[in-house]
């Protein structure tokens, strides 16, 4: 028998429970104040009962169990004072419970949001490459905010309302069991009506939140690509796409609110029927002498008090159902497993030399194999360039070094230590990563550089900027190093952004450097400035660079040509250039002539499936590397074995 999956509300309570544990004192204080409000609410009708019975006696009515002089001034003053005191204490208790629950709700939401954000940051790049960023932000900000309702704002008062209803039922049973049966019947009718409505409200709210998440993703994607949108005149197309998602979210939102409104109005009908029955039955029992007029009044007031929790429960049920749908989305996010985590036995990383080894490494993305049994050793301080067609595994190989992903088989080692045996934070703290698109943050230039090493002094930050050839243009900014950058540093040119990123990497002073197309897309002048900065960054450090810049490749110690997840060529640039039939030589000469596209090899066209073209054949155009190893065979032998271990 399969295990039943927990419902949305249970999953929501499960994720907020750890945060509620830290708020035990405030929660207990709020519940105590709430119970005090319940007690004072139950006491509130009694002074009114005494006055009505006393007035009835004064008017000559015979009231069973009531004697004395009737409505005397001391009695009236005493009842009025008692009512004022009870109402005042009830108001104070309600205020204290509301404030304490509000504080608990804010604290819970803040702590939960921090926990979810930390979890999202721990997820691997495999998750972030496929998950819509806008929807993730919507869960982190909007959905967590709604959880305040299910956890505290509605949830805890709902507990108080249930307690109020139970206490009142006990009191009513003691006063008159027949009248109490009417209140119990009203509560049972509410439970039957709300049971089906809650599921439908939750389902509609779940669809609404998913639609809002997709809407947020559409907006984030469009705003992030605004240059392309405006350049290609896509405003109306993007607007239609946004409006379509907006309309779907609106329809589902209206559906959820309509269901909640139906539940609330159905509860009003139940309360009205119960009140009419109490008046009918109570009036008859007063006329029979079984109850006093004051007893009837107290029953009507108790009915009103008892029905208020039912109304609140109807109102809160809709809100809780909508919040539970949000909680389910947050729970789904927390259920995402972090692929890259510290092993229990992990030790601190101490990279002394920077020797990198890939031992029979295999990496798969879905069903496709990106790296297949790769074997490679990179010596300390060696500068290695990776070349190959798109999808050959260059970025995957580079991502293995800072352990952005783990191989499905084989081992990656630095200085003989398996990366999975090292603490992630320490390992990544000793690897400098520089991407094609420099990632800068919306803060000051100084802080962007200091992110390389948070404890760096201002003098160290400026020294790194000078070494990166960035000091001159930074000093010319309106506020110098304190100039606040726009989102992603878009207020700077590409070359300026890259040099700030290089300064950040220089400040880290890591023994291993990974460059992923660090000069691609820059104009010749900016490329020359960045190249000078990169020379300082990589000097004396083990460097793995993905590049298609011939000048950068020529200055490398070693070139690796990747093809179909394996190393097809390996050697020094000069050695490979001396072999005209090598992939590298063909690419290099084509690149120098300006005919290079990423990963293409200028190779002779194949006459047939079985005919090998002559080595001196002249290609008419670059031909992309194909996946078939037979068709991809070069005209001359491969300069290094497919699996290289050196």
Q: Which residues contact 469 (CB under 8 A, 6 or more apart)?
A: 499, 529, 530, 532, 533
CA count, 13 A, side-chain hemisphere, 631 = 13
One-letter-per-residue 3-state SS of 428-470 = HCCEEEECCCCCCCCCEHHHHHHCCCCCCCHHHHHHHHHHCCC
pLDDT digits (tens, 9 = 90+) for 507-522: 888 899 998 887 776 6
Q: Across all residues in the chain, what is the average pLDDT?
A: 77
> Quick one: pLDDT at residue 608?
33
CA distance 503 to 354: 21
Q: What is the pLDDT of residues 174-214, one digit of tens each?
A: 877 877 788 788 878 877 777 767 677 767 776 776 776 67
Q: How far apart are CA 224 and CA 241, in angstroms?
A: 16
pLDDT in tens, 386-423: 998 888 888 889 889 988 888 989 999 999 999 999 98
* pLDDT score, position 559: 92
- What does the domain layout of the chain look like in residue ranges? 8-335, 437-509
At residue 572, the pLDDT reads 92
Distance CA 548, CA 376 (A): 21
DSSP 484: B
Q: What pLDDT score was predicted for residue 359?
A: 92
For position 621, what pLDDT does the model report? 33
* Residue 269 and residue 207 in contact, taking contact as beta carbons nearer than 8 Å: no
For every residue of 267-313, DSSP letters joined together read: HHHHHHHHHHHHHHHHHHHHHTTSS-HHHHHHHHHHHHHHHHHHHHH
Q: Which two tokens stand for residue 253?
A: 């939102």
**pLDDT of the residue at 593:** 62
| CATH T-level topology, domain 437-509 | Rossmann fold (3.40.50)
Residue 230 belongs to what H/E stretch?
A: helix 226-231
pLDDT surpassing 70 at residue 7: no
When pLDDT is averaged across residues 217-243 and rounded to a whole number, the result is 70
What is the DSSP-derived secondary structure letter of residue 402? T
> Do 388 and 371 form a contact (C-beta atoms < 8 A)?
no
Output the pLDDT for position 490: 72
Q: Can you name the CATH fold of 8-335?
A: ABC transporter transmembrane region fold (1.20.1560)
Tell me which of 7-21, 494-508, 578-592 is least confident. Answer: 7-21
Summarize pLDDT for 108-130 with one digit per residue, the tens: 888 888 888 888 888 877 777 77
pLDDT of 289-346, one tens digit each? 777 777 778 777 777 777 676 666 666 666 777 677 777 788 888 888 877 888 888 8
């Amino acid at each position: 028998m399969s295990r039943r999956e927990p419902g949305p509300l249970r999953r929501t309570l499960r994720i907020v429970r750890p945060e509620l544990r830290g708020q035990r004192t405030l929660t207990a204080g709020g519940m105590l104040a709430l119970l005090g409000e319940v007690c004072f609410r139950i006491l509130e009708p009694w002074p009114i009962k005494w006055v009505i019975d006393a007035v009835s006696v004064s008017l000559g009515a015979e009231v069973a169990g009531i004697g004395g002089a009737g409505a005397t001034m001391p009695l009236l003053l005493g009842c009025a004072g008692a009512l004022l005191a009870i109402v005042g204490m009830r108001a104070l208790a309600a205020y204290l419970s509301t404030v304490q629950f509000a504080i608990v709700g804010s604290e819970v939401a803040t702590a939960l949001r921090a926990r979810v954000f930390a979890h999202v940051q721990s997820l691997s790049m495999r998750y972030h490459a496929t998950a819509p960023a806008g929807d993730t932000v919507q869960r982190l900000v909007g959905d967590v905010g709604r959880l305040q309702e299910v956890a505290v704002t509605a949830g805890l008062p709902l507990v108080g309302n249930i307690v109020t209803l139970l206490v009142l039922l006990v009191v009513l049973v003691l006063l008159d069991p027949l009248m109490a049966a009417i209140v119990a019947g009203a509560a049972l009718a509410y439970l039957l009506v709300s049971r089906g409505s809650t599921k439908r409200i939750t389902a509609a709210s779940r669809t609404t939140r998913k639609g809002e998440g997709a809407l947020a993703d559409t907006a984030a994607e469009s705003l992030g690509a605004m240059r392309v949108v405006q350049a290609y005149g896509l405003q109306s197309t993007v607007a239609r796409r946004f409006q379509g998602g907006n309309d779907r979210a609106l329809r589902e939102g209206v559906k959820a609110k309509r269901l909640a409104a139906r539940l609330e109005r159905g509860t009003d009908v139940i309360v009205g029927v119960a009140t009419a029955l109490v008046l009918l039955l109570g009036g008859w029992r007063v006329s029979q002498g079984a109850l006093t007029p004051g007893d009837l009044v107290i029953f009507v007031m108790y009915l009103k008090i008892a029905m208020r929790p039912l109304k609140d429960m109807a109102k809160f049920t809709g809100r809780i159902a909508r919040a539970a749908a949000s909680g389910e989305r947050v729970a789904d996010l927390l259920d995402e497993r972090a692929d890259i985590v510290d092993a229990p036995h992990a030790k601190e990383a101490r990279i002394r030399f920077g020797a990198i080894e890939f031992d029979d490494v295999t990496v798969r993305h879905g069903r496709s194999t990106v790296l297949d049994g790769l074997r490679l050793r990179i010596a300390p301080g060696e500068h290695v360039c990776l070349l190959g067609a798109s999808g050959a595994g260059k970025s995957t190989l580079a991502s293995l070094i800072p352990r952005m992903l783990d191989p499905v088989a084989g081992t990656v080692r630095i200085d003989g230590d398996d990366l999975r045996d090292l603490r992630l934070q320490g390992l990544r703290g000793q690897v400098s990563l520089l991407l094609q698109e420099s990632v800068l943050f919306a803060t000051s230039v100084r802080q962007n550089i200091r992110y390389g090493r948070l404890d760096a002094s201002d003098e160290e930050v400026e020294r790194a900027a000078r070494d990166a050839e960035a000091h001159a243009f930074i000093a010319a900014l309106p506020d110098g190093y304190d100039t606040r950058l726009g989102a992603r540093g878009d207020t700077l040119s590409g070359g300026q952004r890259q040099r700030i990123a290089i300064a950040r990497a220089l400040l880290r002073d890591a023994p291993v450097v990974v460059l992923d197309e660090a000069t691609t897309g820059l104009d010749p002048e900016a490329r020359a400035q960045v190249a000078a900065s990169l020379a300082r960054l990589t000097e004396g450090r083990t460097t793995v660079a993905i590049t298609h810049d011939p000048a950068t490749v020529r200055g490398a110690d070693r070139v690796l040509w990747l093809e179909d997840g394996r190393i097809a060529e390996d050697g020094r640039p000069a050695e490979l250039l001396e072999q005209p039939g090598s992939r590298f030589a063909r690419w290099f000469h084509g690149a120098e002539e300006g005919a290079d596209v990423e990963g293409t090899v200028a190779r002779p066209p194949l006459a047939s499936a079985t005919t090998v073209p002559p080595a001196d054949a002249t290609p008419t155009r670059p031909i992309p590397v194909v996946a078939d190893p037979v068709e991809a065979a070069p005209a001359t032998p491969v300069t290094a074995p497919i699996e290289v271990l050196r």
